[in-house]
Amino acid sequence: MSALQVAFAGTPEFAAQALAAILDAGFAVPLVLTQPDRPAGRGMKLTASPVKQLAQARGLAVDQPERLRTPAQRAALQAAAPDVLVVAAYGLLLPPEVLTLPRLGCINIHASLLPRWRGAAPIHRAIQAGDRHSGITIMQMDEGLDTGPILLARSIPILPEDTTGSLHDRLAALGADLVVEALHRLPEGLPATPQPREGVTYAAKISKAEAALDWCRPAAELARAVRAFNPFPGAQGRLGGTTIKIWQAQPADLSGEPGKVLASSPEGIVVACGEGALRLTELQRPGARRMTVREFLAGFPVSVGDRFAIAAD
């Protein structure tokens, strides 16, 4: 058991993997901060975050403040007296009073190679932009938005078939390994390197409005959007008044009027784009599960000449 007292702040599965690794490495975790329980599922039942579920299963103290602005909201963290606070996809901004509370400060696990893709949705935006690499940055936190100095960073390739879901899982595992390495080295004085001023980009939060594909855009761009929006919010198009989710698609060497169906077979529904065409191979109609294009066409016929709606329609 390490003598280092490590408080943890995080909410989703990405963060839960890091917390599990910290515990398995033998670090003492006197307190876990996570978002308040939120309604989820069809019944909108109050549901604990993955981090809270793991913390409770491991017998850890959990606090769920709405904010960390007041002394009362920070009381549990103050009482825990951690040496360091590890933050991973927590969902709350940390005020200066929290950043300076642990003697070794606060460190963040960020799912990009900073300074590229600061912000809320670095995995989505890296795939959407066509980046060839992503990675994990362990950062010493300051008052800016992902602007603190870099303690550790490691790169991995973005594979041609990667979705946000698959890349998320690989980055979560990498982040768990890298934060444990950082914690082992932190008491010795892990060097902190200021972020370069060049190459800064911001990963804006994903909105559901972005899910609608603009068929006037190039097919290569739309193929990346399909992968970036899988599993959330799910790329979609409207055909005959029905909203169809598109889970897998690849560029095709055809052309035509944007939105028009150029081919429809068990190999794919080919839709013309502003440049080239997009072959849709996994789809989902309302109330149904995800289907291969063969299964989809059996219950929802699509013919050559049919047209997906575009923004101007």
**Which CATH number characterizes residue 223's domain?**
3.10.25.10
- 183 lies in the same domain as 93: yes
The total domain count for the chain is 2
Dig out the tokens for 254 from the structure: 């055809």
**Which CATH number characterizes residue 46's domain?**
3.40.50.170
Q: What is the pTM of this model?
A: 0.95
pLDDT band per the 50, 70, 90 thresholds, residue 313: low
Dig out the tokens for 60 from the structure: 């850890």
Residue 14 belongs to some domain of the structure: yes
Which whole-number Å values give the CA distances from 78 to 74, 106, 199, in the listed order? 6, 14, 37
Question: Given a cut of 80, is residue 2 above it in pLDDT?
Answer: no
Where are the alpha helices (H) located in the chain, listed in sequence order?
Answer: 13-24, 50-57, 75-80, 96-99, 122-129, 164-189, 219-228, 293-299
- 221 lies in the same domain as 165: no
Q: Round the average pLDDT of the chain to a whole number and report it.
A: 96
- 103 lies in the same domain as 252: no
- 84 lies in the same domain as 42: yes
- 29 lies in the same domain as 103: yes
- 153 lies in the same domain as 261: no
Residue-wise pLDDT tens digits, 43-95 = 788 899 999 999 999 999 999 999 999 999 999 999 999 999 999 999 998 99
Full domain range(s) for residue 256? 208-299
Question: Of 147, 177, 202, which residue constitutes the final position of a domain?
Answer: 202
Residue 258 belongs to some domain of the structure: yes
Residue-wise pLDDT tens digits, 189-238 = 899 999 999 999 999 999 999 999 999 999 999 999 999 999 999 999 99
Question: Of 161, 179, 202, which residue constitutes the final position of a domain?
Answer: 202
Question: Of 202, 217, 234, which residue constitutes the final position of a domain?
Answer: 202
